A and B are shown apart, each in its own frame.
Chain A
Amino acid sequence: MSAVRNWGRTEIGAAIGFVGVALIGWLDLPLAELLTVGFLSRSLQAAAPIALTAIGGLYAEKSGVFNIGVEGFMIFGAVTTAALTWLIGGETAGQNTLWMAILGSVAIVSVAAVLFAVLVIRYKADQIVAGLAVWFLGLGFGPFVAVLLWDSQNSPGLVSVENLTVPGLSELPIVGALLFDISPLVLLTAFVTIVAWAILYHTRYGYWIQAAGENPEALDTAGVSVGRVRYAAVIFSGVMAGLGGAVLLAHAGSFTGTGDTMVNGRGWIGIVAYLFGNYNPIGAAVAALLFGGLDMLQIQFQTIGIDLPNRLVNLFPYLAVIVVLTMWGSTRVPASLGDPYDSEE
């Protein structure tokens, strides 16, 4: 199977692109109507939560801890943002309320992330099992809060984030609608992506994170606490996933707690996004955009009147995850991933 392993990202990307084009040709889809500016900006919105989660997750994994609980942290982030919005402003909440709720939610999720980090680092909990537990807690806690507040697993319509519109510039063709009439949370994601990339590859702290995963002994010898670096990375990953959930909510405008909740696998897709992006924040964000685009295809199909059942089109991202993982399953996982590290005690 080494032939499969040797597939590079470019080849896979090209293959996916080719299949896409073939599909468009085969179904005789009007390409111009499909790839609209609206589609791109919706894809950016859909990609933002996945990208934030992916960037957090890759920091944790680079430092040597597989945070498999990001899906759960996303649910926490989404439901606490919805709950705070409701408690502060109710159904008529405005933009300020929403931003306060996002901040509050991030604060609450950080507490949960600290507890998780203590459990997996200090108490050496099995990372896979503990991560799954976080997901289960989210699946229970999200709808629980919703039922408590709204007597239903779903919230009523709350408030969604307003686009940032630059007068004048937003009138420009294509670029105007894409860049100057944009969700501030998409801009925030782009900013986080670039900063995360710069820190990881161009600061001493970034090298520490990488060393904590690749060669903790060397880092320890150099006098840096492996535990501290890992704590920071794991807490960051939980907070980023929580922020991802908050962004998801702010774009959707209401909380859905039925089924697998509104997060619906996006945390898992985030994990695949950073694997596909080779643990590079920018690569992860690009992969997230790919998944976000697949996620938004159904709206495109609907608007141009293609009669594919919604429920099947919704499955594209999940199928893509499987294809990507199979073609690119064996990523260059940090050497000491999953091993608890003891310095002396």
Chain B
Amino acid sequence: MLTVSVLERVVISAVATVLALLIGMVIVAGAGYDPAVFSRNLLDGAVGSEAAIARTLMFTTLFVLTGVSVSIAFRAGVFNIGVHGQFIVGGFATVLAILQTAPVLPEGPIGGVVLLLVGALAAIVAGGAYAAVPGVLKAYGGANEIVTTIMLNFIAIGIVGWLVEGPFRGADQSAPNTERLPEYVELPQLIYSSPDFSIVGLVVALTVTVLIAVLVRRTSFGYEMVTSGQQASAAAYAGVDAKRMVVVTMTLSGMVAGLAGAVFTVMIQGYYSDPAGIGSYGYDAIAVSLLAANNPLGVIPAGLLFGSLDSAGSYIGISSNVPAQLIDGVVGLVVLFVSAPELFRMAAKRIGLGGDEQ
């Protein structure tokens, strides 16, 4: 991408979002709905009630984690489009690990905490391992990671879908779902009494984000990772093994994606269902990361924005007849605008702003 200053990045992200929303409004109007009602619904759905805020924070938790996962790879110059698959594999591994371990542990809160840790660990390992595959294929086989990770997304959906339909379908489940997690395996409801959101999940997401930010900015490992992505030859002179770095970066990215899957499973679902129907957090995460200029800390506000959008989208889907898929289109537009900083620079020049910038 062209060199862009931090300030420019912030402005571009903001303008891109506003522009995408405006185009969304035009489409709403064009399809024969009232854009004023639509914007009202958008606001209500995101922050209009306690339930709306809890729902927004629930999506934010997932977007922050998956967004950080994407940003790790992108910063190191590797395109991990496979966060979706790693998220699915991680979440499924959580369910398997917890269901397998539960019988040998005492029931109750202590067993619950241990099971949560077991589940999270399983997710991190599974997500990391699933991401390591395209990393190895890229580093040592030259396989384009964009295409392999996308293929692995389809494969994750297919295999986990088959597993929950047949081999791992819960005995009491009529739908293709695994057995439910034991009731004592849950994140506590401390603030909002929403069944799908726990502040603990958000705290986990924010903690991981800060840890990754420190890792990327303050450690020599993070420095090597970023230079190998942005100045490959300089990194090579400094003795960084670029191939190994690709694998390590992908694995780390996948570990965070796996953890996101664990949070999704424990906090929201409580079992695993057909992954064809669980949403597209891993894809939206790409937009989150790009909007944050692949900066781990920037993922927090970007995640909040996308959390609000998705929360509003699910509200709109229920409370009005505007198709909620419009929100996915808005996400696509945001990504499209963010891809072309030059567009904004030329536009700014034309209307007489920022003419002094190169």
Residues of A within 8 A of B (CB): 1, 4-5, 68, 119, 123-126, 128-130, 132-141, 143-144, 147-148, 153, 257-260, 264-265, 268, 271-272, 275, 309, 311-312, 314-315, 318-319, 321-322, 325-327, 329-330
B264-289, CB under 8 A of A: which get 1 and which 0?
A: 00000000000011001001001100
Residues in B whose Cβ lies below 8 Å from that of A272: 147
B231 to chain A, nearest CB (A): 17
Is the pair A143, B323 in contact by a Cβ cutoff of 8 Å?
yes
Interface residues of B in 148-199 (CB under 8 A from A): 148, 150-152, 154-155, 157-159, 161-162, 165-166
Of all chain A residues, the one with the shortest Cβ separation from B151 is: A318
Residues in B whose Cβ lies below 8 Å from that of A123: 340, 342-343, 346
> Can you name 29 A-B pairs with beta carbons within 8 Å?
A1-B140, A1-B142, A4-B140, A119-B343, A124-B2, A125-B339, A129-B335, A130-B340, A133-B339, A139-B280, A140-B332, A141-B329, A141-B332, A143-B325, A148-B323, A258-B276, A259-B157, A259-B277, A265-B151, A309-B162, A315-B155, A315-B158, A315-B159, A322-B152, A325-B141, A325-B144, A327-B141, A329-B143, A330-B142
Is the pair A136, B158 in contact by a Cβ cutoff of 8 Å?
no
Is the pair B336, A133 in contact by a Cβ cutoff of 8 Å?
yes
Is the pair B340, A119 in contact by a Cβ cutoff of 8 Å?
yes
- One of B141, B277, B333 near A4 (C-beta < 8 A): B141
A327 to chain B, nearest CB (A): 7
Q: Is chain A's interface secondary structure helix, strand, loop, or mixed overall?
A: helix
How far apart are the CA atoms of A5 and B150 in the complex, in Å?
Answer: 22
Residues in B whose Cβ lies below 8 Å from that of A271: 147
Q: How many A-B residue pairs have CB under 8 A?
A: 155
Is the pair A140, B158 in contact by a Cβ cutoff of 8 Å?
no
- In the complex, whether B326 has a CB less than 8 A from a CB of chain A is yes
Q: Is chain B's interface secondary structure helix, strand, loop, or mixed overall?
A: helix
Residues in B whose Cβ lies below 8 Å from that of A311: 158-159, 161-162, 165
B306-339, CB under 8 A of A: which get 1 and which 0?
A: 0000000000000000010111111111011011
Residues in B whose Cβ lies below 8 Å from that of A257: 325
A2 to chain B, nearest CB (A): 10
Residues in A whose Cβ lies below 8 Å from that of B140: 1, 4
- In the complex, whether B31 has a CB less than 8 A from a CB of chain A is yes
Is the pair B137, A322 in contact by a Cβ cutoff of 8 Å?
yes
Is the pair B162, A144 in contact by a Cβ cutoff of 8 Å?
no
Of all chain A residues, the one with the shortest Cβ separation from B337 is: A133
Residues in A whose Cβ lies below 8 Å from that of B223: none
How far apart are the CA atoms of A4 and B2 in the complex, in Å?
Answer: 35
- In the complex, whether B132 has a CB less than 8 A from a CB of chain A is no
Of all chain B residues, the one with the shortest Cβ separation from A314 is: B158
- In the complex, whether B65 has a CB less than 8 A from a CB of chain A is no
How far apart are the CA atoms of A322 and B346 in the complex, in Å?
Answer: 40
A55 to chain B, nearest CB (A): 18
- In the complex, whether B1 has a CB less than 8 A from a CB of chain A is yes
Given contacts A140-B330, A148-B323, contact A128 B141 (CB under 8 A): no
Is the pair B333, A329 in contact by a Cβ cutoff of 8 Å?
no
Of all chain B residues, the one with the shortest Cβ separation from A143 is: B325
How far apart are the CA atoms of A271 and B147 in the complex, in Å?
Answer: 8
B117 to chain A, nearest CB (A): 32
Is the pair A321, B336 in contact by a Cβ cutoff of 8 Å?
no
- In the complex, whether B79 has a CB less than 8 A from a CB of chain A is yes
In the complex, given contacts A126-B1, A133-B332, A309-B165, what are 20 additional A-B residue pairs having Cβ atoms less than 8 angstroms apart? A123-B340, A123-B342, A125-B336, A136-B283, A137-B336, A138-B332, A140-B327, A140-B332, A148-B31, A265-B154, A271-B147, A272-B147, A311-B158, A311-B161, A315-B158, A318-B151, A325-B141, A325-B143, A326-B137, A329-B143
